[in-house]
A and B are shown apart, each in its own frame.
Chain A
Amino acid sequence: GAVVSQHPSRVICKSGTSVKIECRSLDFQATTMFWYRQFPKQSLMLMATSNEGSKATYEQGVEKDKFLINHASLTLSTLTVTSAHPEDSSFYICSATHSGGEQFFGPGTRLTVL
């Protein structure tokens, strides 16, 4: 089946530092990947659409200079949280679209900013 991995699964960092999260489609190529954020006891909130070889498309209210997205290949997208602050602490999840249109999700990255 289609597998999506994320790394790291958990990260704790100091306020002001930048954190990079990787999302990989392991057994399929994905021209489109998505980045979500999930707060406790809430649904997933789409942050941006990552397109291979082009700029990401950000949802309204998401700061593109704060959340840098790079989709360098058909199997890898990265999300960098720049100058992280405690309010950026959250669960970040990526997904990749399979050729048939179904989306598969990574296991998520729990970010804690001290």
Chain B
Amino acid sequence: GIQVEQSPPDLILQEGANSTLRCNFSDSVNNLQWFHQNPWGQLINLFYIPSGTKQNGRLSATTVATERYSLLYISSSQTTDSGVYFCAVFRMEYGNKLVFGAGTILRVKS
């Protein structure tokens, strides 16, 4: 099956700093999603991005499908950005099953 690796595993930022989270995957995929899991456990959809670049406010994501990686950029971080960020991918051959990475734990300090 597909392997998904996220880095770094942990990240501590001072409020206002920028960061880049990385997601590498071992095979070609039909799609990729980024999520933020808040302290209450809710997964919030950030991006649905099989390729290219998307931006939403202070967040943006880039997926380079041919090189099997995706990046999530967080600019001007805020304490509310704290939580766990997951990358997940799927291939149609395996149904619509998402394969999750282990996540990046982000702590933003004020």
A residues contacting B by CB (< 8 A) are: 32, 34, 38, 42-44, 46, 49, 57, 91, 93, 95, 97, 100-105, 107-108, 110
Which secondary structure dominates where chain B touches chain A? strand
Inter-chain contact B45/A108, CB cutoff 8 Å: no
Counting contact residues on chain B (CB < 8 A from A), the size range is 20 to 34
Stretch at the interface among B15-23, B53-61, B75-83, B98-106: B98-106
Total cross-chain contacts (CB, 8 A): 50
For B40, B41, B100, the residue with the greatest tally of chain A CB atoms inside 10 Å of its CB is B41
Pick the residue among A95, A102, A110 that contacts B48 (CB under 8 A).
A102
Does B109 have its Cβ within 8 Å of any Cβ on chain A? no
- Kindly provide the distance from the CB of A110 to the nearest chain B CB, expressed in whole angstroms: 7
- Kindly provide the distance from the CB of B2 to the nearest chain A CB, expressed in whole angstroms: 13
Inter-chain contact B86/A43, CB cutoff 8 Å: yes
26 contacts between A and B (CB under 8 A): A32-B95, A34-B96, A43-B100, A44-B86, A44-B100, A46-B97, A46-B98, A49-B96, A91-B41, A93-B41, A93-B43, A95-B43, A101-B48, A101-B96, A102-B33, A102-B45, A102-B48, A103-B33, A103-B88, A103-B98, A104-B45, A105-B35, A105-B42, A107-B40, A107-B41, A108-B42
